[in-house]
Amino acid sequence: MNDALKQIFDEDQHDLQTMPENRVERDRERRMRVKAIIEGGGATEAIDFIHAAIVFQHGETLDDWWEAYQFSLKAVDMGFQPKWLAAVALDRWLVRQGKPLKYGNQIVPFGGIYRIPKLDPATTDVEREKWDVPSFNELHSFENLRGFVSCTVVDTTEIIDFKVKIVNLERLPAHSPTLIGAPIGTDARNQIILENSYGWKWIEDHQGSFKLGWLLLPHVPTIAHPVVCEGNYSIEKITLSGHPCVTVSVNESHTIYFKTSKGIWAVTGRDINDVIHKTKELMLEDY
């Protein structure tokens, strides 16, 4: 093992836990040191390339994340187990481009809730198992995620055919991308509707903050509602327009989940009346 790479890796992990104000600058300096060691032939074992990959995984550019993927593949080729770091690195490179994920072990914030983006339908659970990442259903229930912040289930409820559970994250994820979309039109109130490459739609207030959003989740047995919960939360079963729903409230955010033939809709907003109104609109469209 290269001791210098191990030291840089340890520094990276310490900063990830403490989140110093100059973390980005420190990350850059670490990547420069790692690159010099790699180019000088200092990495000779699989664990050396794993340490290098993790440092570059916490980068800022597509080149950084691609480098992390290549270092991870090198470690796998040298016999390193498990293989999930390579899968996570590839997905981080993809999610930063707004592309469907190959395996799924990445998240994007959506109104204070951390969602799994669209997945490549060609990837099977057999392939996920080969690369030591969670199955399709496990991803959406936030079970067995790899290299992710610690989390606990704080409450759960179940209606016909699916379950919703509130998952409390230990801290804000450090390297998740921001929500970026383009205008696609306006609603009945002349509010601009934004949409991203995954088909998620939302409306922002006059300050550019998330106001109301809706997205379609796949038919899975359990849907996680991942948040950083430092206040009050509730989860309950309700009925809207004759259809069973689950409503989750965390601090000032409210979400309603309901199932249709297309999938499971999640409608999130700051005003519960807006959330109910949008939910009923989607019900009229889908039922």
Q: Encode pLDDT of 189-233 as tens digits.
A: 999 999 999 999 999 999 999 999 999 999 999 999 999 987 789
Burial (CB < 10 A; 0-12, 13-18, 19+), residue 284, is exposed
The answer to whether residues 98 and 196 touch, using CB atoms and an 8 Å cutoff, is: yes
**Any idea which of 167-181, 191-205, 244-258 has the lowest mean pLDDT?**
167-181
Q: What is residue 197's predicted lDDT score, i.e. its pLDDT?
A: 97
* pLDDT more than 90, % of the chain: 87
**Is the predicted pLDDT of residue 243 greater than 80, yes or no?**
yes
Same structural domain, 73 and 133: no
Q: What is the pLDDT of residue 247?
A: 98
Sign of CA dihedral 53, 115, 140, 120: negative
Distance CA 271, CA 266 (A): 15
Q: Is residue 17 part of a domain?
A: yes
Residues 66 and 125 in one domain: no
Same domain, 37 and 161: no
149 & 34 share domain: no
d(CA 253, CA 204): 14
- The residue from 81, 100, 134 where one domain ends is 81
Instruction: Measure CA 285 to chain center.
Output: 28
Rounded to whole angstroms, how far apart are CA atoms 270 and 279?
A: 14
Domain count, the chain: 2
Residues 47 and 132 in one domain: no
Are residues 15 and 139 both part of a single domain? no
Please check whether residues 117 and 253 belong to one and the same domain. yes
Which pLDDT band, with edges at 50, 70 and 90, does 149 fall under? confident
Are the CB atoms for 115 and 197 separated by under 8 Å? no
pLDDT, residue 77, reads: 96
Q: Does residue 101 belong to any structural domain of this protein?
A: no
Query: Are 263 and 125 in the same domain?
Result: yes
Tokens 């601090």 identify what position?
251
Establish if 89 belongs to a structural domain: no
Q: Is residue 99 part of a domain?
A: no
Residue 256 maps to a domain: yes
C-alpha span between 90 and 68 (Å, rounded): 8
Q: Is residue 88 part of a domain?
A: no
The boundaries of the domain holding residue 29 are 3-81
**Number of helical (H) and strand (E) elements in the chain, helices listed first:** 8, 13
**How much helix, strand and coil, in percent to the nearest 5, is found in the chain?**
35, 30, 35
CB 252 within 8 A of CB 259: no
Distance of CA 128 to the CA centre of its chain: 17
Least confident residue range of 27-41, 66-80, 146-160: 146-160
Interacting residues of 134 by C-beta distance below 8 A, sequence separation 6+: 104, 105, 128, 143, 144, 145, 146
Does residue 95 form part of some domain?
no
Residue 287 has pLDDT above 80, yes or no: no
- Specify whether 137 is located in the same domain as 268: yes
| 146 shares its domain with 260 | yes
Instruction: Note the pLDDT of residue 230.
Output: 77
Residue with the bigger pLDDT between 287 and 84: it is 84
Q: How confident is the model at residue 173 (pLDDT cuts 50, 70, 90)?
A: confident
81, 100, 118 — which closes off a domain?
A: 81
* 134 pLDDT above the threshold of 80: yes
Question: CB of 103 within 8 A of CB of 87?
Answer: yes
User: Which residues on adjacent β-strands are paired with residue 110?
Assistant: 113
Report yes or no on 29 lying in a domain.
yes
pLDDT at residue 283 greater than cutoff 80 = yes
272 & 135 share domain: yes
Please indicate, yes or no, whether residues 113 and 243 belong to a single structural domain of this protein: yes
Each residue's pLDDT tens digit, 62-119: 999 999 999 999 999 999 999 999 999 999 999 999 999 999 989 999 999 999 999 9
Q: Which residue has the higher pLDDT, 254 or 23?
A: 254
